[in-house]
Amino acid sequence: MSLEAVFAAIAGYLVLHQTLTGRALIGCILILVGVLVVQLVPMLKKKKA
Alpha helices in the chain (DSSP H): 4-16, 22-48
CA angle 39, 46, 32 (to 5 degrees): 15
> Does the pLDDT at position 35 exceed 80?
yes
Percent of residues, the chain, with pLDDT higher than 70: 96
What pTM was computed for the model? 0.68
Q: What is the pLDDT of residue 1?
A: 65
Does 48 score more than 90 pLDDT?
Answer: no
